[in-house]
């Protein structure tokens, strides 16, 4: 079992180093977003964290400010901006979550935090288990469902497909992580995530 103290220490060190080393990249992305479309640089949204506590997640804004509709992204979503297409492809929109990690809302590795609407659909036992740990920037489900929006684009009812098929599969992987979590598993997931992102 992964020591909570060791995991938190790793999270603090990794988020501090990441924010420091990536500062020029973060600044460059922020300027690009600001010039590309009207609206704020950051997208903030309520997610559900450890023990069911809500928090505000930080992401680089990749959609138009006036976007509305589904809380999932489907294929070549026309709400996505020009800069948004690039930063989403390489998961650069997730980098500001290092701030959430530093604040203690999230961990580097852990079940991806969902919006309240979908957490309300979790069976009680699944909810208790998945929300027993801090949510993360990446996890087993993030690796396996990297092309989630493409899969949803093939459905005639993306919302229903997400709720009936993808969400239960992701939750099964989240439960697997909670039960098997260790420092070495975290490093393995980080490695798999980087491997996917660095593929040409």
Q: Looking at residue 67, what is its pLDDT?
A: 55
Quickly list DSSP for 9-77: HHHHHHHHHHHHHTHHHHHHHHHHHHHHSSS-SEEEEEEE-GGG-EEEEEEE--B-TT--S-SS--SS-
Q: Looking at residue 154, what is its pLDDT?
A: 79
pLDDT in tens, 117-141: 999 999 999 999 999 999 999 999 9
3-state secondary structure of 128: helix
3-state secondary structure 148-166: HHHHHHCCCCHHHHHHHHH
DSSP classification of residue 97: H
Q: Looking at residue 2, what is its pLDDT?
A: 59
As a whole number of angstroms, the distance between CA 18 and CA 15 comes to 5
Quick check: 153 pLDDT over 70?
A: yes
Question: For 182-197, what is the mean pLDDT?
Answer: 92
**Is there a contact between 152 and 161 (Cβ–Cβ < 8 Å)?**
yes
Q: Looking at residue 152, what is its pLDDT?
A: 76
Element (H, E) at 125: helix 124-130
As a whole number of angstroms, the distance between CA 102 and CA 13 comes to 9
pLDDT in tens, 158-187: 888 888 999 999 999 999 999 999 999 999
Cα 193 from chain centre? 12
Question: For 62-74, what is the mean pLDDT?
Answer: 64
DSSP classification of residue 80: B
pLDDT in tens, 71-118: 555 555 678 889 988 998 888 999 999 999 999 999 999 999 999 999
Share of the chain above pLDDT 70, in %: 92
Encoded tokens for 192: 């798999």
Cα 43 from chain centre? 13
Residue 80: count other Cβ atoms within 10 Å of its Cβ.
19
Q: Looking at residue 66, what is its pLDDT?
A: 66
3-state secondary structure of 109: strand
Please choose, from the candidates 155, 136, 162, the residue with its C-alpha nearest in 3D space to the C-alpha of residue 71.
Answer: 162
Element (H, E) at 141: helix 140-144
């Amino acid at each position: 079992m992964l020591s909570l103290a060791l995991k938190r220490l790793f999270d603090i060190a990794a988020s501090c180093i990441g924010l420091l080393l990536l500062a020029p990249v973060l600044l460059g992305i922020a300027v690009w977003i600001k010039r590309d479309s009207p609206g704020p640089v950051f997208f903030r949204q309520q997610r559900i964290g450890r023990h069911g506590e809500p928090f505000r997640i930080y992401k680089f804004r990749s959609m138009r400010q006036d976007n509305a509709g589904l809380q999932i992204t489907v294929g070549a979503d026309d709400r996505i901006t020009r800069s948004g297409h690039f930063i989403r492809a390489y998961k650069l929109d997730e980098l500001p979550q290092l701030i959430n990690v530093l604040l203690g809302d999230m961990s580097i590795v852990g079940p991806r935090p969902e919006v309240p609407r979908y957490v309300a659909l979790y069976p009680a036992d699944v909810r208790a288990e998945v929300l027993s740990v801090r949510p993360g920037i990446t996890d087993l489900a993030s690796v396996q469902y990297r092309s989630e929006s493409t899969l949803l684009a093939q459905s005639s009812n993306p919302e229903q497909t997400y709720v009936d098929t993808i969400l239960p599969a992701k939750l099964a992987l989240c439960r697997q992580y909670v039960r098997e979590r260790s420092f070495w598993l975290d490093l393995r997931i980080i490695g798999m995530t980087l491997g996917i992102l660095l593929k040409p």
